[in-house]
Amino acid sequence: MTEFYNNKPLFFAHRGYLLNKPENTLSSLLEAIKIGAQALEIDVMQTKDKKIVCSHNHYLDIETNFIGDISEIEYSYIKRANTAYRLKNKKEPIPQLIDVLKKIPDEIKINIEIKTRKYRDIFAAREIVDIIKNTNISQRVLISSFNPLVLWYIKW
């Protein structure tokens, strides 16, 4: 964890830069970096088919033009939802975490907040551990969650 912190405060962009971008999307995260964010906070959850997607809300209708609970829907449907539907003539899907991580520059720190619906649900944590190992970002990532079992699993 010493690699994550130094003696200076970090400027985190929570869900990215939201002025003209939909939250937790690749464009909002990259825009936040462009204006000076040194770290990103990204909310994630698992779809029915075990994909890890970037979303703050469990329900699609809160931030997209679709309806449904992300945990009960496959990504092939979710990726067609438009997070930018409130912005005229713009379209942006809910991204998968793996795709976002591939686009984030190496010097940017990342706080991945794992959101779960059920207390005993650690399946998303398992997938995220694999993603972190496979993308070689462990030195610049921090995991957070309101679910203590998720944190215990990650720490263990």
CA distance 131 to 144: 15
Q: Of residues 13, 14, 78, 127, which has the active-site annotation?
A: 14
Cα 131-132-138 angle, rounded to 5 deg: 175
58 assigned to active site: no
CA distance 111 to 147: 15
CA distance 66 to 11: 32
Q: Of residues 56, 79, 90, 117, which has the active-site annotation?
A: 56
Q: What is the set of active-site residues?
A: 14, 56
